[in-house]
Amino acid sequence: MLPSHNVCSIPSSFQLTGIPGLESLYMWLSIPFGSMYLVAVVGNVTILTMVKVEHSLHQPMYFFLCMLAVIDLVLSTSTMPKLLGIFWFGAGDIGLDACLAQMFLIHCFATVESGIFLAMAFDRYVAICNPLRHTTVLTHNVVGRLGLAALLRGVLYIGPLPLMIRLRLPLYKARVISHSYCEHMAVVTLACGDSRANNVYGLSIGFLVLILDSMAIAASYVMIFRAVMGLATPEARLKTLGTCGSHICAILIFYVPMAVSSLIHRFGHQVPPPVHTLLANFYLLIPPILNPIVYAVRTKQIRERLLQILKTETKIK
């Protein structure tokens, strides 16, 4: 008789292990992860509130920032509550449909976030290279359509991933996923059928999002830098580049962890499993935590509004 782990079956659910190899530290790990999740939620809700109440922030860049805040809330909330449940209660069981839904949300909204960064790069390009037409080119309707296009692209790119798993890979040799969430490749490796199509499609989408989007953003900044170098004085150049600082920081915060996590997952076979899983979680947590901080520190209107609120609360106390 074959060992049970070699028998293919149709699972009704999977078991997420959390962070393999660090089970004895789960209660301690829940403190930093829970704190980071709380900071991410508070920070992004604060950004949404600030832009809503401060009319001077009703500009394309800040509307895109609100889109980033919503996306970051979705990304962090789709993974962190489940991870904390594993840490606190050992609640690693997740239904097959819930697993596929979580996979879709994570990969779809990561793709949408990349699209929003591309739209923000276009906004900076128009604002600096053609400032007189900025308000006529990037109207509220255009900003909304760019956001909708990024969302539709994410759905179009990622929608086939869970469908291909559901329709092409119904049988699995195990139901234990050595990860803290339903990552595409972590699920596909458990399948009994031919998963080459899933692997090729996943790699192709990763290439389109990571490589092409980053190249398009880089091209926009090449044109921006050329325009900035044509300004008359160093002070004007620094001031103009300063308007791009928050966007550049946010891009690095998003793409660097994504690239590192993807490379380690594909090629870092010698990397210990806990390191890989931690990096995968940081990739979903770092942007939601740092994006609000970067924009709050570097945006005068947001910074002044926050200080005004803090002073008012201090006086009340």
Paired with 176 in beta bridges are: 15
Residue 197 region, left (φ>0) first, then alpha (ψ -120 to 50), else beta? Answer: alpha
Q: What is the pLDDT of residues 12-45, one digit of tens each?
A: 999 999 999 999 999 999 999 999 999 999 999 9
Element (H, E) at 176: strand 176-177
| Cα distances (Å, whole numbers) of residue 10 to 160, 174, 190, 192, 218 | 20, 10, 11, 10, 45
Spatial distance between the Cα atoms of 154 and 148, rounded to a whole number of angstroms: 10
CB 277 within 8 A of CB 19: yes
In the predicted structure, residue 3 carries a pLDDT above the cut 50 = no
Name 71's Cβ contacts closer than 8 Å, sequence gap at least 6: 109, 112, 113, 116
Spatial distance between the Cα atoms of 156 and 104, rounded to a whole number of angstroms: 11
Measure CA 182 to chain center. Answer: 15
Annotate 124-136 with b (16+ C-beta within 10 A) or e (fewer). Answer: bbbbbbeeeebee
Q: What is the pLDDT of residues 209-268, one digit of tens each?
A: 888 999 999 999 999 999 888 877 788 788 888 888 889 999 999 998 888 877 776 676
Spatial distance between the Cα atoms of 248 and 49, rounded to a whole number of angstroms: 23
Angle between helices 60-77 and 96-129 (to 10 degrees): 160
Q: What is the pLDDT of residues 81-138, one digit of tens each?
A: 999 999 999 999 999 999 999 999 999 999 999 999 999 999 999 999 898 899 999 9
Residue whose token pair is 């819930």: 98
In the predicted structure, residue 2 carries a pLDDT above the cut 70 = no
pLDDT tier at 301, thresholds 50, 70, 90: confident
